[in-house]
């Protein structure tokens, strides 16, 4: 997987590159819009991380140029302005996802992964992690053959974590996908729900499946 990072701020570009490389991506970095367009023309990338605020030609203009040239490479927009209107504007211009600055690295990595592997997402109707199963049609959750009662929100949270099993999920992604909030709720809503979910799926069972990654988010997997 090869990703182009277009970011003029050197330090930001550097830790984004490192984080993506650590996940096994090959990463190219450009610091302005014209170089980015030239690079996208020369190389077929699997995804582009595009900052909106760039010197000269800005990110939205690069995006429109790409789409005009029928280049359908998935694009994740980054913006320091981080406002609701801009998100809509970006998505209308043909972006596939949008992340306001300051973002969490784990979010950025998760979103790039989602962009580049859109089709590879787990689409089966019965999700399974160790002896925990979730039927996405009947909404029935079981662990070790025992039924687990879930509220609607807990169900959505568990489904989201199980579809992303083995990968760290940041709080912002959870808030966006499970609650459909486009703002940072600033409450410990996610933590409280995770605690409740953990009581239901982990308290009376071994091994523990739902783990906290201090400072970054949560992950559902068999090994700690």
Q: How far apart are CA 12 and CA 9, in angstroms?
A: 6
- 26 makes contact with another protein (CB under 8 A): no
For residue 83, the minimal CB distance to another protein (Å) is: 6
Closest CA to 100 of 4, 176, 34: 176
- Binding residue for another protein (CB under 8 A) from 144, 166, 185, 207? 185
Q: How far apart are CA 87 and CA 72, in angstroms?
A: 19
Q: How far apart are CA 74 and CA 118, in angstroms?
A: 9
Q: Which is nearer to another protein, 16 or 132 (CB)?
A: 16
Q: Please list the residues that pair with 112 across neighbouring strands.
A: none
Q: For strands 140-143 and 146-148, give the pairing.
A: antiparallel
Task: Indicate the DSSP class of residue 119.
Answer: G
Say if CB 3 and CB 27 are below 8 A apart: yes
Per-residue string for binding with another protein, 109-128, x by CB under 8 A? Answer: --------------------
- 106 makes contact with another protein (CB under 8 A): yes
- 39 makes contact with another protein (CB under 8 A): no
Residues of this chain, 132-151, that bind another protein according to CB under 8 A = 151
Q: Which listed range, 25-33, 112-120, 131-139, 191-199, lies at the site for another protein (CB under 8 A)?
A: 191-199
Q: For strands 169-170 and 217-220, give the pairing.
A: antiparallel
Q: How far apart are CA 176 and CA 181, in angstroms?
A: 5
Residues of this chain, 151-170, that bind another protein according to CB under 8 A = 151-153
- 82 makes contact with another protein (CB under 8 A): yes
Q: Which is nearer to another protein, 12 or 32 (CB)?
A: 12
The contact set with another protein (CB under 8 A) reads 9, 11-12, 15-16, 18-19, 22, 80-85, 88, 100-106, 151-153, 181-189, 192-193, 196, 214-216
């Amino acid at each position: 997987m090869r990703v182009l990072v277009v970011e003029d701020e050197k330090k930001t570009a550097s830790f984004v590159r490192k984080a993506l490389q650590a996940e096994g991506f090959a990463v190219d970095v450009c610091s302005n819009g014209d170089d980015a367009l030239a690079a996208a023309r020369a190389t077929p990338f699997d995804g582009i991380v595009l900052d909106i605020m760039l010197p000269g030609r800005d990110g939205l203009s690069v995006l429109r140029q790409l789409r005009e040239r029928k280049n359908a490479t998935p694009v994740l927009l980054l913006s320091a302005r981080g406002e609701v209107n801009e998100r809509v504007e970006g998505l209308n211009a043909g972006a596939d996802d949008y992340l306001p600055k300051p973002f969490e690295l784990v979010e950025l990595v998760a979103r790039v992964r989602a962009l580049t592997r859109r089709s590879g997402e787990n689409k089966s109707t019965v999700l399974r992690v160790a002896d925990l199963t979730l039927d996405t049609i009947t909404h029935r959750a079981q662990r070790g053959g025992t039924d687990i009662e879930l509220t609607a929100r807990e169900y959505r949270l568990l489904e989201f974590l199980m579809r992303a099993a083995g990968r760290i999920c940041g709080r912002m992604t959870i808030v966006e996908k499970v609650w459909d909030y486009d703002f940072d709720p600033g409450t410990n809503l996610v933590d409280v729900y995770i605690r409740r979910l953990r009581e239901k799926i982990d308290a009376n069972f071994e091994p523990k499946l739902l783990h906290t990654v201090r400072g970054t988010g949560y992950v559902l997997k068999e090994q700690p």
